[in-house]
Amino acid sequence: MSAVAAVVVTYNRRELLRRCLNALDAQTAGTPDIWVIDNASTDGTDEMVKARNEDHVFYCNTGENLGGAGGFSWGVRRVAREGYRYLWVMDDDCLPEPGALEALLAADRSLGGQYGWLSSRALAPDGTDQPMNRQRSTPYRDIAGYEGDCIPAVMASFVSLFLPVQIVRSFGLPIAEFFIWSDDWEYTRRISRKMPCYVIPASRVIHAMRSGGVVNIATDTQDRWPRYRFFYRNDVYLYRREGIRGWIWLLAKDVWHSVQVLMHGPNKGMRLAILWKGFCSGIRFDPPVQGIDEQWENNR
């Protein structure tokens, strides 16, 4: 049994998942145990994983599409109870470079375990930085760059997040009810309020996502508009905890997105309704934070 368990959440992206598993198998620090958390894919993901017939790969089907947030909450709870020391969390389109895990473990030793989480540098397939995955130095500002060995940060994505299992026991699970978007920001910010957290630039991953742009209903494709109700709702939950400055940030962002909607594209009224209904539902949104030993529920 490895000290590290990679928790990979997937949904109907069999070939991307295959590439992710191959990248994990190629780690210079040694192959971690790999837990594939499948949100009930229908594309033959289960057959592909099982056909690999690898003792260090464990397949778990959640039984339904819980969204990214639900998948991470379900998977982190499931794997954290298995006796590992560390969890390495990622999406199925995350392709760690061979030295990614080695750099995270080296940082763990250097810091003497005194941190909440470590985050890798996420690159696009062309080698440029992925803007969606740029970590935050404050809740409102991206880190300036990737110069240095260990960069303080307060928010990071689930595209290669490394954390001790003891941190999960102390801070609970990601919030399943978020369904998609901002669950990683919320979780990493929950931890960074109490513990120092860091970006490790030497740990590099390719994030092979379809679109690397920022999340904004004004510029996204029409087929994705309905899911934005989660984004604008979840951001209210996240930033209202930051007090008056958080509320100012929220209103400024959503007003600016509204202006952009009015300036670009069709169905302006529909998109504005999604945005502001999401904002209003976020004011009342109060999902529970569950621990790993509680009965897991998904009440979206």
Rounded CA gap, 58 and 185, in Å?
A: 27
* Per-residue model confidence as pLDDT tens for the chain (300 residues): 789 999 999 999 999 999 999 999 999 999 999 999 999 999 999 999 999 999 999 999 999 999 999 999 999 999 999 999 999 999 999 999 999 999 999 999 999 999 999 999 999 999 999 988 999 999 999 999 999 999 999 999 999 999 999 999 999 999 999 999 999 999 999 999 999 999 999 999 999 986 656 789 998 899 999 999 999 999 999 999 999 999 999 999 999 999 999 998 899 999 999 999 999 999 999 999 999 887 656 544
Give the list of residues 6+ apart from residue 118 with CB closer than 8 angstroms, or none: 104, 107, 108, 161, 162, 163, 197, 198, 199, 200, 203
Q: What is the DSSP letter of 269?
A: H
Strands 136-138 and 141-142: antiparallel
Rounded CA gap, 161 and 159, in Å?
A: 6
CA 236 to chain CA mean position, Å = 18
Measure Cα distances from 213 to 59, 141, 209, 219, 289 in Å: 31, 17, 10, 9, 30
Predicted confidence at residue 39, as pLDDT, reads: 97
Rounded CA gap, 210 and 28, in Å?
A: 28
Predicted confidence at residue 212, as pLDDT, reads: 55
Task: Name the one residue in this structure whose structure tokens are 């909607």.
Answer: 261
Predicted confidence at residue 300, as pLDDT, reads: 46
CA angle 208, 210, 215 (to 5 degrees): 110
Predicted confidence at residue 298, as pLDDT, reads: 57
Measure Cα distances from 175 to 24, 80, 231 in Å: 26, 15, 14
Taking alpha carbons only, the member of 216, 215, 209 closest to residue 258 is: 216
Measure Cα distances from 139 to 170, 186, 246 in Å: 22, 10, 8
Claim: this prediction has a pTM higher than 0.85: yes
Predicted confidence at residue 32, as pLDDT, reads: 97
Q: What share of the chain is helix, strand, coil (3-state, %, to 5)?
A: 40, 20, 40
Q: How many residues does the chain have?
A: 300
Residue 99 in tokens: 């030295």
Rounded CA gap, 73 and 88, in Å?
A: 13
